[in-house]
Amino acid sequence: MSSSEVYTASTTAPVNIAVIKYWGKRDPKLNLPTNSSLSVTLAQSDLRTHTTASCSPSYPPQDSLLLNGSEQDVSGPRTQACFRELRALRKQLEDANPELPKLSSLPLKIVSENNFPTAAGLASSAAGFAALVRAIANLYELPSSPTDLSRIARQGSGSACRSLFGGYVGWEQGSAADGSDSVAFQVAPASHWPQMRALILVVSAAKKGVSSTTGMQTTVATSSLFPARANETVPRRMKEMISAIENRDFEAFGKLTMMDSNSFHATCLDTYPPIFYLNDVSRAAIKVVEAINKKAGRIVAAYTFDAGPNAVVYYLEEREKEVAGLFKAVLGEKDGWQGERGERVQRDAEGLEHIR
Ligand code: DP6
């Protein structure tokens, strides 16, 4: 290879929002979870991270990562684990095929951009690590399957393993000590239930107070509600959720989604010291969803909240007017941002005050 040659590959990975939450690690180093989880990929709203990975003998010797134009620290154990695993796979290929260029020994340059406003306050680490892992795998021309890549992305951020697939995606907690069976799997492609929509309600764009990593470790260590959630409630709901998706049963899907979000936030409150991710505006959004469902006489909208106050509301396209329409009427269009399909409404805390 010539000393100025640049090898490059690009990819995108979507944001996913869990409807059965991952919360708790049984092995923090390998990012092995205490329970399985399941998410919906927000492909319709097309929230994605676009990543280009390149390597060249002409690059400065250190690996680098530019996210939305700002230089990131790559020395942390999670990014390092992803780089190390991918390089090792490339090295195996190079050893087996001596004619291949020795990319595994070249410095990497990663450039990532989120196509959604960073101010949306969405957890971007899932899409970010999934795109990073796949971009490097493409650059290295690895024959790895999405399942193999999910095993690597999981070490970057647990929820990232689910962004290697589209549609409805589970993450099997696994039981092997080395994490080999803790991988993502597709429950159904998005085309199985294309009417699904998600409205993202941005209550606050501020960075979360307690990071997921720290929060879940403290929950595992202190919450007395947690063992029942991880060992009984979630395993049961995983099965119920998979059949709700298979049967396209929105009432069951919605009820499980809301109950799992409530259960997760209950264990957060039961953590010592307590963790409060929901705020008054989040609770107001819950009330709006409850009012919508009451009026419809059945569950037509379902809220869920990750480690922050922003709501994601799932509904079916046919209920667009009742759900997105009502939220929009309450919030007004002023600060709203509308995707091609599915809706996203962005508004600050004050904007929602009058819902209550
Ligand atoms: C509440 O995947 O961000 O969004 O593995 O420590 O990086 P780390 O945690 P992360 O946690 C996500 C937690 C959640 C639920 C979920 O996405 O399942």
Q: Tell me: the pLDDT tens digits for 34-75?
A: 999 999 997 656 789 999 999 999 999 999 999 999 999 999
Please report the pLDDT score of residue 43 as a whole number: 66
Please report the pLDDT score of residue 157 as a whole number: 96
Interhelix angle 250-269/234-246, rounded to 10 degrees, is 160
Q: Is the CB of 307 under 6 A from ligand 1?
A: yes
Please report the pLDDT score of residue 42 as a whole number: 75
CA distance 48 to 194: 18
| 41, 42, 47, 50 alpha-carbon torsion, rounded to 10° | 20
Q: Tell me: the pLDDT tens digits for 345-354?
A: 444 333 332 2
Closest CA to 59 of 6, 110, 9: 6
State the complex-level ipTM. Answer: 0.99
Minimal-distance CA residue to ligand 1 atom 12? 159
pLDDT band for 222, please (50, 70, 90 cuts).
very high
Order the strands of the 37-41 sheet from edge to edge: 16-20, 37-41, 168-171, 184-188
| 204, 205, 210, 213 alpha-carbon torsion, rounded to 10° | 130
Does the pLDDT value for residue 340 go beyond 70? no
Taking the alpha carbons of 287, 291, 294, 300 in that order, is the dihedral positive or negative? Answer: negative
Helix runs in 20-169, H state only:
77-96, 125-139, 146-156
Per-residue pLDDT, averaged over 11-26, amounts to 96
pLDDT band for 207, please (50, 70, 90 cuts).
low
CA distance 169 to 356: 34
Interhelix angle 77-96/146-156, rounded to 10 degrees, is 150
| Contact present, 162 and 171 (Cβ < 8 Å) | yes
Lowest model confidence (mean pLDDT) among 22-31, 94-103, 335-344: 335-344
Q: How far is the CA of 157 from the centre of ligand 1 (A)?
A: 7
Please report the pLDDT score of residue 329 as a whole number: 79
Taking the alpha carbons of 313, 51, 158, 307 in that order, is the dihedral positive or negative? Answer: negative
Q: Tell me: the pLDDT tens digits for 113-138?
A: 998 765 555 667 899 999 999 999 99
Give the angle 30-31-32 at the CA atoms, nearest 5°.
Answer: 95
- The model's pTM: 0.92
CA distance 291 to 289: 5
At 179 the three-state DSSP class reads: coil
Phi, psi torsion values for 283, nearest 5 degrees? -65, -35
Does the pLDDT value for residue 18 go beyond 70? yes
Q: Tell me: the pLDDT tens digits for 239-276?
A: 999 999 999 999 999 999 999 999 999 999 999 999 99
pLDDT band for 327, please (50, 70, 90 cuts).
confident
pLDDT band for 93, please (50, 70, 90 cuts).
very high
Q: Is the CB of 306 under 6 A from ligand 1?
A: yes
Question: What ligand 1 atom has the least distance to the C-alpha of 17?
Answer: 17
Mean pLDDT of the chain: 90
C-alpha dist (Å) from residue 42 to 170, 219, 312, 324: 14, 28, 10, 16
| Contact present, 172 and 91 (Cβ < 8 Å) | no
Please report the pLDDT score of residue 155 as a whole number: 97
Helix runs in the chain, H state only:
77-96, 125-139, 146-156, 212-222, 226-228, 234-246, 250-269, 280-296, 320, 326-331, 349-352
CA distance 92 to 78: 22
Per-residue pLDDT, averaged over 136-155, amounts to 98
Pocket test for ligand 1, best of 150, 212, 304 (most atoms within 8 A of CB): 212
Minimal-distance CA residue to ligand 1 atom 5? 158
Lowest model confidence (mean pLDDT) among 87-91, 200-204, 338-342: 338-342
Q: How far is the CA of 23 from the centre of ligand 1 (A)?
A: 7
Please report the pLDDT score of residue 352 as a whole number: 35
